[in-house]
Amino acid sequence: MKNQGIVELYQPRHTLIGRDGITMIPHFLERLSADRVLVVTDKGLMKTGIAGKVTAVLDEAKINYVIYDGVEPNPSVRIVNEAFAFYKEQSCGAVIAIGGGSPIDVAKAVSILSANGGKIQDYNGVNKSKKHGAPIIAVNTTAGTGSECTRAYVVTDEEAKSKMLMVDTNCLSHLALNDPMLMVGMPPSLTAATGIDALTHAIEAYICNTHTPYTDALALESIRLISGSLREAVRDGSNMDARTDMCWAEYMAGLAFSNAGLGLVHGIAHQLGGYYNIPHGLANAIMLPRVLEFNRPYCMGRLAEIAQAMDEKVDHLSVDAASKVAIEAVRRLIKDVKIPPLCETKFDMKDIDIIAENALKDTATATNAVRPTLEDVKIIIAKTYYEGVLMKKVNENG
Ligand SMILES: [Fe+2]
């Protein structure tokens, strides 16, 4: 372990993980001096009744709240401004986010704007705000993004057609809540994509150039849990053991990357989201294997340990061979949970230059195991794309 000097660790103020955890929300709200609370969610979660499970708890406890349900995937500056305008208009003093990464990210943006003013673009980068934002209760409904426990949030700048990654300790949640009962109805495709997002967080945190003993422990256990439970959570969404494992895994992976860093998978995925609105988890799942192959020469020992965490039998193998087994195990998991190839998304090869250029500049790429060149990034994207085209042809021809 190389000496990194003093390391600061980040985490939410409080955390709840477990079945029916949402019933504890009023207890945490009591300790906040908010006369009215803004609930931030999306129309899908309102329609499926998942947001209603949380608001029923608020109704029961006679909490004064208003709802903003206009959040969309890959939330934009426009949505942040709309939610913040509503927060001010309704004189709210705290935010309850219900959802996956998108509603929680919007809640973080609203929280930062409420205490610091200005526009959200002012906070693009690391620790750009001065004051801690309004308290956030982050109720996670997917087991993927880790947004409930991280100091990061992402907002799409529609004009620049790219994603802004804000890393800010002032947006850490007052309460991070993972209740597996809210995840039971999640469709298999979303369970798969968000689960591989969590796996990517853990792997990138483990092999990045700023990992620590603390983040290593979180990442490896998260990889072990995902490897053991994601297939079952996708196959049978009502399996509470699998769902609970995924709650723990995604939370630990979130803490791991929030305290260590990410890498090139996220650097590219952020652009695929910003440019084509490809869901974040899906973009990561598609890019993960080829980026790992690129990184492999620089982190073979770490990949060999990942193979062990995924319960691969690698004791008799060289580190070189074991690192290849890890990547094959990741590929198998991605295939088993039915992630579609890049060529079946809105990605267009004609945009490869701009996607690669922005991926190289992305904050996540800065902590990748090795610094890639523009050519490296283009080759990774092209290989991923044409590999998918080839696989599709093979499948079509039986
Ligand atoms: Fe992610």
Burial 155-177 (b: 16+ CB within 10 A, else e): bbeeeeebbbbbbbebbbbbbbb
Determine the distance separating the centroid of ligand 1 and the alpha carbon of 99, expressed in angstroms: 15
Closest residue by Cα to residue 137 from 170, 104, 183, 182: 104
Q: What pLDDT digit, counting tens, does each position of 340-359 carry?
A: 999 999 999 999 999 999 99
pLDDT of residue 398: 65
Determine the distance separating the centroid of ligand 1 and the alpha carbon of 265, expressed in angstroms: 9
**pTM of this prediction?**
0.92
Determine the distance separating the centroid of ligand 1 and the alpha carbon of 6, expressed in angstroms: 26
Determine the distance separating the centroid of ligand 1 and the alpha carbon of 103, expressed in angstroms: 14
Distance, CA of 107 to CA of 96 (rounded, Å): 7
Determine the distance separating the centroid of ligand 1 and the alpha carbon of 280, expressed in angstroms: 6
Q: What is the number of helices (H) and of strands (E) in the chain? A: 14, 9
Determine the distance separating the centroid of ligand 1 and the alpha carbon of 392, expressed in angstroms: 26
Domains of the chain: 14-182 (3.40.50.1970), 188-396 (1.20.1090.10)
Determine the distance separating the centroid of ligand 1 and the alpha carbon of 364, expressed in angstroms: 10
Determine the distance separating the centroid of ligand 1 and the alpha carbon of 353, expressed in angstroms: 23
Determine the distance separating the centroid of ligand 1 and the alpha carbon of 37, expressed in angstroms: 27
pLDDT score of 225 more than 70: yes
Determine the distance separating the centroid of ligand 1 and the alpha carbon of 215, expressed in angstroms: 16
Determine the distance separating the centroid of ligand 1 and the alpha carbon of 40, expressed in angstroms: 20
- Residue 132, class by beta-carbon neighbours within 10 Å (0-12 exposed, 13-18 middle, 19+ buried)? middle
Q: What pLDDT digit, counting tens, does each position of 282-334 carry?
A: 999 999 999 999 999 999 999 999 999 999 999 999 999 999 999 999 999 99
Q: What pLDDT digit, counting tens, does each position of 109-126 carry?
A: 999 999 999 999 999 988
Six-digit token string for 331: 């590929």
Distance, CA of 321 to CA of 293 (rounded, Å): 13
Determine the distance separating the centroid of ligand 1 and the alpha carbon of 240, expressed in angstroms: 23
Distance, CA of 333 to CA of 242 (rounded, Å): 15
Q: Got the DSSP string for 370-398?
A: SPPPHHHHHHHHHHHHHHHHHHHHHHHT-
Distance, CA of 36 to CA of 8 (rounded, Å): 33
